[in-house]
Amino acid sequence: CTEVEFMLRDPVKNDQDIQYTLAAAEAGLLFMEQIEAKAQALGVLRGTLSRHILPYGTTDQSVANQSSKAKEVLENMPDEMRRRMSDKEVAYLVRGANSVRKLIRVKIADDNDLNQAQESLKTTARFFRRVTAEAEEMSIGPFRLLQTRREGQRLISPAKPGKPSNAPVFGRGGGHYQLKQQQLYNQQQQQQQQQQ
């Protein structure tokens, strides 16, 4: 939980932030596919293309403030590269790069940075998909589940009648409750068999 949240530039504060973060991570992964495809089509490394799409600008510009505008990118892009890219492609890549930089704490200057960014996006998307799915299974909001994990508390969803809860138990302990659930389930099964 904290590892993923440390990668994020802004903290997650509610259910909407979780949905935004998940959508932004998935969009970031699409951007990564597009920059890979465009770099191959241009015959350059992804890092080379990314430096034109998202230049650092001044030497005192922090990584956190690294961003681009399509017009500036178009003006400063080498002619050979510029002739092989449409304005829409450049604008899309600029928006994608800016969005990735806004979402996760990573610089994008070379292929290694892009690999790291891609792994961070995959980890983020996977984590928030799992949190969302588990919260839905437990009939609670994803942020509530995330908060409970942050606090290291146990959160248990009620079992459906006739079945033990298969919802994950988080935090300390939890074994006693799971054992009790299993015992109740076994008792119900025995009663049903006796009635037949």
Query: What is the residue extent of each domain of the chain?
Result: 2-150, 158-195
What letter does residue 161 receive in the DSSP assignment?
Answer: T
* Predicted local confidence at residue 127, as pLDDT: 95
* Predicted local confidence at residue 99, as pLDDT: 92
* Predicted local confidence at residue 184, as pLDDT: 54
Cα(14)–Cα(99) distance, integer angstroms: 20
**Helices and strands (DSSP H and E) totals, the chain:** 9, 0
Give the residue carrying structure tokens 């939980």: 1
DSSP string, 76-142: HS-HHHHHTS-HHHHHHHHHHHHHHHHHBS---SSHHHHHHHHHHHHHHHHHHHHHHHHHHHTTS-H
**Which residues lie closer than 8 Å to 135 by C-beta, 6 or more apart?**
141, 142, 144, 145
Q: Consecutive sets of 10 residues in the chain, 196 residues long: mean pLDDT of each?
A: 86 95 96 95 92 63 54 84 90 92 88 94 96 94 91 58 44 39 58 69
